[in-house]
Amino acid sequence: MPSSQTTLLAGRYRVLRRLGSGGMATVVLCHDERLGREVAVKRLHAHSPEDMEKRFAREARLGASLNHPNLVSIFDTAIDDEGVLIVMEYVDGESLSQALRRGPLEPRRAGAIAAGLGAALDHAHAQGVVHRDVKPANVLLRGDGVAKLADLGIATAAGQTRITRSDIVLGTAAYMAPEQLDGEEAGPAADVYALAAVLFEALTGAKARSGRTPLEIAHSIATEPPPDLRDHLPGAAPAAADLLKRGLARSPGARPRSAGELGSGLRDALERPAERTAPTRRVAAAAPSRRSTAAPLLVALAAAAVLVAAGVALVAGGGGEESPAPETRAQQPRTVTERETVTAPAPAPAPAPAPAATGSGLNARGFELMQAGRYEEAVPVLQQAVESWPEDSQDIEYAYALFNLGASLSRSGNPEAAIPYLEKRLTWNDQRKAVEKELKEARKQAGKA
């Protein structure tokens, strides 16, 4: 990967500096000479140009098909003499793995991250996409506090082939679900497990499962119950501890029904004092599996066979590759599944306030209102967000705010006012299908189809 500041990638992206690299890719910070903005450009490490092109094209299509504020935003793909590039939004901040080197996160911050990542994974799962590599290195924390999930590079999509070669199991062992370690197909429940592992570490600074090798981690999963948050964080709400134990359950069916249920549930539990938190029902499925008494050892041995015979690309302890990069804004309200409780569930709290009254903060606040279906309330907040940028701004956050305002106007009964905002959003090349769909609906409702 070129590193000189005079280097132009694809004749357009001027390399400024390297952001990170790992076993799969190298990411550099570039200046887009055409649009005058900073972007992250990623090049995959592959065994052949043909392999590289196929895998990158798949990753770009997956990224472009998803549109969510806590997911990576793919702007462009390009081909040069060295292969295929993916151009993504640059996130000015740090990864969760870097943040955790300073110690665990404050519970409210961890809760906000949990809700955002859970909603992002629900959005991906609804589109048939399973991430398969949720870990702290792939969680990017922007300066204003927004968390974004990066790197769908080893994702799978329903009905489509895997991006990765079929003879390699990819992931980071400390965050991989038991079914992944067993070599089975990973579904949305595997992402729920990984999210629970990431959140446990965010709150405690300790990995939920640790070991010197992937085999030791697999053996721990097979023979030991999930850890209890309260052993590391005394005074933690029982509901929070219970949710994480369920999320780390050996059986996929014992885990929360969705990543959003886990994330929003954990946020709610962490925001309320422990003594006032409604306890969640202990689920029997979180107990040891109904397999035979020999099953735990067989699971560990099976994992060893998969890991050794397949030439596993695993990182035993954690960190994995650092691949800082990008992200998105979305518009569809998140479906919140009701948590089972012994007592009546507490009323859902109002969306958390934005970190700051900046354009980005206002847009985040407006989006939270949209997720709650409160479109009329979102409109004035998003109008303030849009007005905080100059009309010729190339900031991608401005583009997100334009879309969110247009969508909120349309869904609150004012589609004609939504049209100019959505039309302006189309001047950006990313997420065009989602914007065109929203614009078409607004025009139809306004009688201008």
Give me the pLDDT at residue 50, please.
59
Cβ pair 139, 147 in contact under 8 A: yes
What domains lie within the chain, and their CATH numbers? Answer: 8-89 (3.30.200.20), 93-309 (1.10.510.10), 359-445 (1.25.40.10)
Q: Which of 32, 133, 182, 242 is catalytic?
A: 133
pLDDT at 351: 47
Amino acid, res. 166? S
pLDDT at 290: 36
Spell out, as residue ranges, where the chain has pLDDT lower than 70. Answer: 1-6, 22-24, 45-60, 81-83, 153-171, 273-357, 430
Q: If you write DSSP's letter for every residue of 140-186 in order, what string do you get?
A: EEETTS-EEE---TT-EETTS--SS-TT--BS-GGG--HHHHTTPPP
Is the dihedral angle over the CA atoms 387, 388, 392, 396 positive or is it negative? negative
Concerning whether 133 is annotated as a catalytic residue, the answer is yes
User: What's phi and psi for 420, nearest 5 deg?
Assistant: -60, -35
Report yes or no on whether pTM surpasses 0.75: no
Give residues with Cβ within 8 angstroms of 405, minimum separation 6: 366, 379, 382, 383, 385, 386, 418, 421
Side chain identity at residue 142, one-letter code: R
Joined together, the tokens standing for residue 160 give 């489509």
Phi-psi bin for 318: left (phi > 0), alpha (psi -120 to 50), beta? left
Q: 156 phi and psi, to 5 degrees? A: -125, 150
3-state secondary structure (DSSP) of residue 261: helix
Q: Give φ, ψ of 141 to 5 degrees.
A: -110, 110
- Tell me how crowded residue 291 is: count the other CB atoms within 10 A of its CB: 13
Calpha distance 413→254 (Å, rounded): 41
Spell out the alpha helix ranges (H) of 326-431: 359-371, 375-387, 396-411, 415-425
Q: Crossing angle for the helix pair 238-247 and 259-271, nearest 10 degrees?
A: 160
**Which residue, among 20, 17, 18, has the nearest Cα to 319 in the 3D structure?**
20
